[in-house]
Structure 1
Amino acid sequence: MEPSALRDDMVASLEHEMKGLVRSEYIGLALRTVPRHEFVPLEAHEGAYTDQSFDHRGTKILSPSTVAQLLEALDVRETDSVLVVGAGVGYTSAVLAEIVGEENVHAVDITRTIVYEARQNLASAGYDGVFVDCRDGADGLPEYAPFDRIVVEAASIRPPHALVEQLTPDGRLVVPLGGGTQRLAAVERTRDGTSEVADEFGTVAFSPLLVDGEQADTVERNRTDREDREFAERHFQTRRGWEHEWIDWDGDGL
């Protein structure tokens, strides 16, 4: 079966009343247009147009239903400037490019090898105008701010302050919030500069938003290093007597 027919079937199943995940015509059209097989590994091509996710190089290629859920929550308009935090393999960015145009889509990812792959995938699929850079997602992309819409493909305990600051007045940030139990939330920036959770869209399960040094392709993440340092500090503070300080054998007082 031709990829276009497979995409039609995929989106039709997402629009079906039993799922109802695609409710907006423009999102359905974009999902029907983007060749998802360009964004999955070769060995996963047979399942490219099924509603499943794939683990890939320490990241997750989101299922079409999850992408649809994010985009429905984002409520994007065709003239919006959009930032994707957690670019992954580039599929969500490509779908957004179909809606708002390539020049209006910016994406960041903390893992350099994933950034290179996202660029290659987007170019192969015909969306090489999308800007993808290697950044700490929590810092956003201030050089290109403000953004009308920001979508985060990773979970955070609270909305990252820098991302809220990079929204336009009346801008919208969609982010999974929470630790063990996550909920997909839409955070809106008001005209006085404050923000508020405007809506919630059910429970989700995303990997946590990584910070600098926790790239998916590192052998040992800095989170482990940090925990080691904190443990050493706690151990140091529990010492008593002569263990607590170095002995200065060459000091003037001896």
Structure 2
Amino acid sequence: MDPAVLREDMVDGLESATKDVLQDEAVAVAMRDVPRHEFFDDERLAYADREHEVLGTRVLSPRTVARVLQALALEDDDSVLIVGAGVGYTAAVVAELVGATNVHAVDISRPIVIEARQNLERAGYDGVLVDCRDGAQGFPEYAPFDRILLEAAAVEPPRAVLEQLSADGRLVFPRGSQRQRLEAISATGDRTRFEAVSFAPLLVDGEQSGTLERNRMAREDREHAVRRAESRRGWEQDWIEWEHSVSSR
């Protein structure tokens, strides 16, 4: 079937009274324009309203993308940071709304960054900047940002990221660990809560998808990693994919 038809059906479903997920017309138009199948191997899966896993990262369902973008309340020419680039689809929709050169995305996983860059270029959004780095540190070289999206759950957003908001900026993230709710925070600390969601936790420096320790302060993470590395023997070592050796910490 023609991907454009599948895309129309996807958005119509999100706008339907049954799902009642998508109310923002600008977001709806953007989701109709972005060729979501360019971010997937199977175009039939691309337009299904469910999550997928690619290279160990969770790809958001269309309904979740609609929810987070409506919570962001994007405006023309906003400078946007996305922490957790994933396969690049969310960044592409944001690019439709604010312009590709205004979109910056980071991810801690190098394979994911490569995947996102390739997908975005193939889909026509090569102006989006995707960089491999610890998302908990944000992207200070391009700060401040009018909007920041954490595509990963945290009890509170990292301080370094919050400090990169513009004076009238807005940060959206899934708040919580096991039980999560989408939440928006203004630069002045005002909060708005939205519906329940389910995201993977925010990884910090030295962690990769599939490891066990997540969502800690950087110092606590390093100390915990050292203690656990000293206690691991044999097959347990196979559970860890090190970006840096423990001795370099």
**Aligned counterpart, 1:145:** 143
Task: Look up the match of 1:86.
Answer: 84
SS of corresponding position for 2:70: helix
Cα deviations by residue, 1:159-202 (Å, 9 ceiling, x for unpaired): 21111100001100000111121111001012xxxx232x1111
Q: Which amino acid aligns with 2:173?
A: V
Number of the residue aligned with 1:34: 34
Using the TM superposition, give the Cα deviation of residue 222 of structure 1 relative to its aligned residue in structure 2, in angstroms. Answer: 7.3
Deviation at 1:204, TM superposition (A): 1.0
**Secondary structure of residue in 2 paired with 1:10:** helix
Structure 2: how far apart are the matches of 1:147 and 1:113?
25
Contact kept in structure 2, 1:215 and 1:221, CA below 8 Å = no
Aligned to 2:18: 18
Question: For the aligned residues, what is the CA RMSD?
Answer: 2.1
**d(CA) in 1 for partners of 2:183, 2:190:** 10
The 3 A distance-change label for structure 1 pair 77 and 228 is closer
Structure 1 residues 127 and 233: alpha-carbon distance in aligned structure 2, compared to 1, 3 A threshold: closer
1:161 partnered with 2:159? yes
Please tell me whether residue 97 in structure 1 is matched to residue 95 in structure 2: yes
Q: How far apart, in 2, do the equivalents of 1:7 and 1:100 lie?
A: 21
In the superposition, the TM-score normalised over structure 1's length comes to: 0.84
SS in 1 for 2:10: helix
Q: Which residue of 2 aligns with 1:241?
A: none
- Counterpart residue identity of residue 202, structure 2: L
Q: Secondary structure at the match of 2:18?
A: coil
Once the 2 structures are TM-superposed, how far is the Cα of residue 226 of structure 1 from its aligned partner? 5.3
Query: Residues 172 and 189 of structure 1 are in contact (CA less than 8 Å); yes or no, is this contact kept in structure 2?
Result: yes
Q: Give the counterpart letter for 2:199 in structure 1.
A: F
The alignment status of 1:202 with 2:200, answered yes or no, reads: no
Q: Secondary structure at the match of 2:190?
A: strand
| Distance change in 2, residues 1:228/1:26 (3 Å) | closer
Equivalences for residues 93-132 of structure 1 within 5 A: 93-132=91-130
Contact 2:107-2:132 at 8 Å conserved across structures: yes
Unaligned runs of at least 5 residues, structure 1 = 235-254
Q: Based on CA coordinates, which of the two structures has the bigger radius of gyration?
A: 1
Whether the 8 Å CA contact 2:3–2:43 is kept in 1: the answer is no
Count residues in correspondence: 225
What's the offset of the Cα at 1:50?
Answer: 1.3
What's the secondary structure of 1:155's corresponding residue?
coil
Name the CA distance, whole Å, in 2 between partners of 1:232 and 1:83.
Answer: 33
- The offset of 1:23, in angstroms, is 0.7
In the alignment, which residue of structure 2 is the partner of 1:133? 131
Call closer, same or farther: CA 1:180–1:127 in 2, change over 3 Å.
same
Mapped to 1, the partners of 2:206 and 2:163 lie a distance apart of 23
* Cα distance in 1 for residues equivalent to 2:150 and 2:120: 19
Q: CA deviation at 1:19?
A: 1.6
Q: Which moved more, 1:157-166 or 1:147-156?
A: 157-166
Which residue identity does 2:58 align to in structure 1?
K
Instruction: Report the AA paired with residue 27 of structure 2.
Output: I
C-alpha distance in structure 2 between counterparts of 1:232 and 1:54, whole Å? 31
Segments of 5+ residues of structure 2 without an aligned counterpart are 215-220, 232-249
Q: TM-score, normalised by structure 2?
A: 0.85
1:79 partner letter: D
How far apart are the structure 2 equivalents of 1:4 and 1:222?
41
